[in-house]
Amino acid sequence: MDIFTNLILIFVSAALINNFVLHYFVGICPFLGVSRKVDTAFGMGLAVTFVISIAAFLSWTFTYFILRPEAPLPSWVWQTVSGEPTATVDLSVLSYIMYIFVIASSVQFVEMYVRKFFPPLYKSFGVFLPLITTNCAILFACLEIMKNLQDPTNLWGLGQAMALAVGGGVGFTIAISIMAGIREDLDLCDVPKPLRGAGIALIVAGIMAMAFMGFTGVDKGLEGALSALLK
């Protein structure tokens, strides 16, 4: 499988087949909280895509050079200390704290930057940025990337990490926009009293998740189509 096919597959898989929200059930909080109006839901989706990309870039960099087993930086330090040229160190334990730390500070930085140089963008994103700083969907993307940096013989490159992150963000945007569209119409429905609000929202989310299960297996067909196309 060549790299192009691989990237497309990772992207499609993150966006549709293994949709973060509807398959892994991460990022449910904004998914339910900000899905009352399509406009704001779409804005939230874009903000998540944006932050998730930055977080993926940073977490790939940190994981690749510092956190993964046999990472170059700590191994070099250890080799210098111990004098064994082949020794390696595994700092994976630091991953969670490192990711949260890096995500939070980078989002803070981006917020300040956008506020200074793109005030209109800040106005539309501003509300959401702090909200998604510690969103589990973002942490989930980082951890997925880490998972694929564990085996030294089969490491993900930055491209694959970014494909996963952008795909995940796009998938989140799709899911939350559909959800918001449904919930806008849901306001006009005569929902039984005990189910109003969060109850019916969760039921709708569940039905959507089932619908998205229909994408299972699309990857095989897509892979075949892509390889035929590239031949």
Q: Which stretches of the chain bind another protein, using CB under 8 A?
A: 66, 74, 77-78, 81-82, 89-91, 93-94, 97-98, 101-102, 105, 108-109, 112-113, 115-117
Q: How far is the CB of 139 from another protein (least distance, A)?
A: 17
Nearer to another protein, 73 or 218 (CB): 73
Name the one residue in this structure whose structure tokens are 């595994």.
Answer: 90
Q: Shortest gap between Cβ of 219 and another protein (angstroms)? A: 37
Radius of gyration of the chain (CA): 20
Residue 25 vs residues 12, 18, 148: alpha-carbon distances, Å: 17, 10, 20
170 burial via Cβ count (<10 Å: 0-12, 13-18, 19+): buried
The nearer residue to another protein, 44 or 226, going by C-beta atoms, is: 44
CB of 115 to another protein, least distance (A): 6
Looking at the Cβ atoms of 4 and 76, the one nearer to another protein is 76
CB 32 to another protein: min, Å:
22
Cβ distance to another protein smaller for residue 116 or 231: 116
Q: Smallest distance, Å, CB 25 to another protein?
A: 30
> Helices (DSSP H) in the chain: which residue ranges?
3-12, 20-24, 28-33, 38-62, 72-82, 95-117, 119-125, 128-131, 136-147, 158-186, 198-212, 218-230
Q: For another protein, which is the closer residue by CB, 1 or 97?
A: 97
Looking at this protein, which amino acid is placed at residue 182? Answer: I
